[in-house]
Amino acid sequence: MRASTRVLQQWAHSRPNSLSFIGLGRMGSQMAYNLFSKRFAAAKDSHFVVCDAVPDAANRFRDNFLHEFPGANMSIAPSPEQAIIASQTVVTMLPSSPHVRRVYLESGGLVPTLRMLTDEQVKSTFLIDSTTLDVQVGREVASETRKTGAEMIDAPVSGGVTGAKAGTLSFLVGGTEDAFQLARPILERMGARIIHCGASGSGLAAKICNNLVLGVEQIVVAEAMLLGQRLGLDPTVLAGVINSSTGGCWSSSVNNPVAGALADKSPPSDRDYEGGFATSLMIKDMGLATAVGETAGSPLPLAEAAESVYQASVTRYPELGNKDFSSVYKYLKQAAEEGRKVHVGGIVST
């Protein structure tokens, strides 16, 4: 069975020179902007396609992009099926494992659609998934994609919304060397560092390990900043001490959880924790780490503790779920002000 002849004919002329981006959330919209704007600057005849589960997100992205680049050729695909018919290069940036399964493997998804394309069209197709998801799910999706004859890499990112906007993300790539080299010029338009971690799934494994460190680190920075203030230290002075000493880290020097603590930067804490990496996504990532740790037989006591603290923070204050994960500081501060204790299992009454 072949995909609709009419649909294929509609896109056949532009497919080789077209890029599709699926997933226009906080990270995806910034990544797509950098990819498309730099590609447009280099090749004005490029065709761009955006797709999102929320139609308004795709419409808003297209309108904003065309306002800034009036000559650009951009379309909206109503489904992943249309996105891959339109473009032989597709980038996906999705929330989590279930979304990746749905977009890639379920009816109307990328892999079933590939099976309906011609052999030539399939072999020319290249898929890049930048979602942070379960390693086994990522490997399964890559395997099913390659069975069709198309190529795919996993390329999760590090750098957060700030890095996505600035185009300074680090891409942690899993896949063959040939696929890595094919992806490099695409990824370089969105990031500053492209790291080949190994075979399929290795990029995901590296990202999970990195975010394990980040999730634990952000909590201990929040603890230290809160403790210092309760001991009479000015938060700007304390941040300066930490950032110039052995405790220095990204969670303190760039994403400090105390508003006004960084005189030369504007972290999410300065904006009531808006515009950063959502706590709900950090809970997802910590869950991925603890799950894979159990499968691998690797003890993760701090990851388990951190996961429970983040979960307790959004259980008590649901609004923190969509705030930057450094908002865990607000949770700890409120507990201190109310005389409550925070334990690994969450909040306990005094």
Three-class SS string for 283-315? HHHHHHHHHHHHHHCCCCHHHHHHHHHHHHHHH
β-strands 346-348, 341-343 pairing:
antiparallel
Catalytic residue selected from 44, 147, 207, 333: 207
Residue 320 Cα distances to 95, 160, 171, 280, angstroms: 17, 17, 27, 8
- Indicate if the alpha-carbon torsion angle 27, 28, 33, 38 is positive or negative: positive
225 neighbors 203 (Cβ within 8 angstroms): no
Closest of 143, 129, 15 to residue 82, by C-alpha: 15
75 neighbors 47 (Cβ within 8 angstroms): yes
Residue 228 CA to residue 238 CA, distance in Å, equals 7
- The reply to whether 207 belongs to the active site is yes
Residue 311 CA to residue 343 CA, distance in Å, equals 12
Provide the annotated active-site residues: 207
